[in-house]
Amino acid sequence: MTIAGEIGTLARAALVVEAGTPCESLESTFRARSDLMAVIVADGDRLGLIMRGRFDQAMSGPMGYGRLLWRQRPVSAIADWSPVRLPGATTVVAASHLLRTRPAERRYDDLVVDLDGGRVGTVSAAHLFDALATQFADRAVRDDLTGLANRAHFLDVLTAACTDAGADGDRVAVAFLDIDGMKRINDSHGHQAGDAVLTLVGRQLCDAMRPGEIAARLGGDEFAVLARVRRGAPAEEAALELGRRCLLAISARDGRHDPDLHPYASVGVAVSGNRSDPQTLVSEADMAMYRAKQAGGNQVELAVGVEAGLAGDVDLVDRTVAQAVEQGELRLHYQPIVRVNDRSVASVEALVRWQHPTMGLLPPGRFLPGARRAGHLPALDRWVLRRACADLVAMDEELGEQSPKWVNVNLSAPTLAGPFDETVVRTLADTGLPASRLRLELPEDADLQTLADAGPRLERLISLGVWLTLDDMGAGSTNLRYLSTLSIHGIKIDRAFVSGMLHNPRDHAVVKLLTDLAHGLGLRVTAEGVESAAQLSELARLGVVHAQGYHLAHPMPLNALTTLLAGETKARPHTARTAR
Ligand code: C2E
Ligand code: MG
Ligand code: MG
């Protein structure tokens, strides 16, 4: 609750009269001061309250004898000696609640408020309820923590701005910000420190705004800013300038704050096109923000459609992965996983691509983050699984013995949180692929809880003959403990270690450690991202049995894979399924 929500700020200085003051003297005071609606009566420390309306009533009635009755009597006889009396720091919400629980005839009396320095004041019920209404109206549009506009209000204002700007030929620029390292701050310094960082960011953004611009907190550590770009002005430049200004505001240091708690941000910017709706504009800026984050954070990226500089190009990204699934725009490429000793193809990994109608073939890095945020990953994974199983069955028919023995399919963390075992069982039954030919790759970004919760479903699949592999080992949070709690069959060493292993002793040590560990546990090891013969031979020396990487084969469409496998078979009948 902010200071503005305290009743002390609503109080008016009160007129205090002594308890012994005769009523007729108070009557002349009221007559002289028409603005005075209540007075406080003091009897030592005790405070009473006289409301003007009730006083007037006493003095005039009953039957006109009131004055006669009360004139000489002290005001103490007419005062209410148990008014609602509260400290100035009481919130408007709490004070209103107290008033509302009073008996009906006293419900609209003033509150007596103790202010700083021993002063007392009063707050009228009308004023208090007004403040309460304003506060609730404000809350509906404001974010509690930062005081910035909230998501709903931001979208409202953005909708109005887009309509208005469209009519004038202006455009609207949106900057989408996500704080870098917020999870680390929360984890290592606690949520209070995290909240303080978000509040600071809110203030910094607010200070950086120009007239007409609006900053909002969309939720969590996401912020957005909108600005209008005048007709004829270079819109992309203006959007980038807006993004850079936000970035600068957030990364400004003033020495007062703990440097460890000082945030940076990833910023994506987008500008409205001819037919763009506000939601699209925000998701474009969001996607651009993801690219900024993937590129290391603390930078600004312009939305893809805008970059191309085409009129109305924002429509290009106005599609979701769910629509891509429905429209049949997803494709699978397959990358061979090869035995290091003879280079024969043991398995193929299914890697998804999006054949976008206007943007061409998009790699997963371009659309998986957005799909994850939109909650579309389970649908995507289901599609990939079905396609991959069906493709392997089709390859069997075409290649017979030379078909790959297994297909590796990636599962995302959101999929693991659902009933994926049912999906797998049904897909295997529908496509006719035996369970023993499917290998599921578990993502390194799944947290331990997700993996633990998925345990029984994974065990069910294992019992049916499906193999499990931990993907990108060493890269993320995949916990070694998990290796011993579930009957995993293999691990894939992340390509970051493979690519560094020849010149960085630490990377080399990690590759060796993971290989030894896996062998100790009886697991299959696959090294990912092998890009050179030197890497391959070092991996062979360390005892790595399987490898995958551009040096061996790039991911390729199904027909290219089939051709490769068929061709290699003819050329080298004894080392079937060779990639190179
Ligand atoms: P991943 O599962 O670790 O897949 C391996 C990635 O490394 C692929 O990137 C592959 O093209 C790339 N790669 C293979 N060899 C080399 C190499 O020698 N050098 C380099 N630099 N890269 C190499 P891709 O296809 O872009 O996929 C990226 C990630 O997206 C995948 O990493 C996986 O996490 C995710 N992904 C891809 N397809 C799917 C899918 O169907 N479902 C789910 N849930 N995730 C997927
Ligand atoms: Mg994988
Ligand atoms: Mg991997």
pLDDT at 7: 94
Q: Which CATH class is domain 7-139?
A: alpha beta
CA dist 47 and 39 (Å) reads: 10
**In terms of residues, how long is the chain?**
580
27-37 pLDDT tens trace: 999 999 999 99
| Chain centroid offset of residue 510 CA | 32
- The pTM assigned to this predicted structure is 0.54
265-277 pLDDT tens trace: 999 999 987 656 7
141-196 pLDDT tens trace: 889 899 999 998 999 899 899 888 877 888 999 999 999 888 888 888 888 999 99
Residues 6+ away with beta carbon under 8 Å from 316: 304, 305, 308, 310, 356, 358, 359
388-436 pLDDT tens trace: 999 999 999 999 999 999 999 999 999 999 999 999 999 999 999 999 9
Given the DSSP bridges, would you call strands 171-180 and 222-229 parallel, antiparallel or unpaired?
antiparallel
Ligand nearest to the CA of 354: 1
pLDDT band at 319 (very low <50, low <70, confident <90, very high): low
Please compute the mean of the pLDDT values over residues 124-153 and round it to a whole number.
87
pLDDT at 409: 98
- Give me the residue label for tokens 């994506």: 268
CA dist 277 and 257 (Å) reads: 39
Q: Tell which residue, 107, 96, 108, has the closest CA to residue 1.
A: 96
Higher pLDDT, 148 or 375: 148
Ligand 1 centre to CA of 353 (Å) is 10
As a 3-state breakdown, the chain gives helix, strand, coil percent values, each rounded to 5, of: 50, 20, 30
Ligand 1 pocket residue status of 351, Cβ below 6 Å:
yes
Ligand 2 centre to CA of 471 (Å) is 5
Ligand 1 pocket residue status of 335, Cβ below 6 Å:
yes
pLDDT at residue 135 above 50?
yes
Ligand nearest to the CA of 552: 1
CA dist 416 and 453 (Å) reads: 8
pLDDT at 316: 36
Ligand 1 pocket residue status of 557, Cβ below 6 Å:
no
Ligand 3 centre to CA of 317 (Å) is 27
CA dist 555 and 543 (Å) reads: 25
User: Is residue 245 left, alpha or beta, with left meaning phi > 0 and alpha meaning psi from -120 to 50?
Assistant: alpha
CB 444 within 8 A of CB 470: yes
Topology of the domain covering 151-308: Alpha-Beta Plaits (3.30.70)
Ion ligand 2 nearby residues (CB, 5 A): 410, 441, 471
CA dist 149 and 142 (Å) reads: 4
481-538 pLDDT tens trace: 667 677 889 999 988 889 889 988 888 988 998 999 889 888 999 999 999 999 999 9
Q: Tell which residue, 285, 12, 333, has the closest CA to residue 175.
A: 285
339 SS3 class: strand
Break the chain into its structural domains and give their ranges.
7-139, 151-308, 331-572
Q: Tell which residue, 342, 261, 358, has the closest CA to residue 305.
A: 358
Mutate to test the pocket of ligand 1, among 331, 337, 351, 502 (most ligand atoms within 8 A of CB): 351
Ligand 2 centre to CA of 490 (Å) is 12
CA dist 249 and 257 (Å) reads: 14
Encoded tokens for 504: 């960085």
Atom of ligand 1 nearest to the CA of 412: 44
Higher pLDDT, 15 or 277: 15
Residues 6+ away with beta carbon under 8 Å from 279: 155
Q: Tell which residue, 355, 385, 348, has the closest CA to residue 526.
A: 348
For 1, other C-beta atoms within 10 Å of its C-beta total 12
Q: Which residues pair with 351 in a beta bridge?
A: 333
Ligand 1 pocket residue status of 220, Cβ below 6 Å:
no
Give the closest residue (by CA) to ligand 1 atom 21. 529
% of the chain with per-residue pLDDT over 90? 55
Ligand 1 pocket residue status of 338, Cβ below 6 Å:
no
CATH 3.20.20.450 fits 331-572, yes or no: yes
534-580 pLDDT tens trace: 999 999 999 999 999 999 999 999 999 999 999 865 444 333 344 44
Q: Tell which residue, 365, 355, 361, has the closest CA to residue 325.
A: 355
Ligand 1 pocket residue status of 414, Cβ below 6 Å:
no
Give the closest residue (by CA) to ligand 1 atom 23. 529
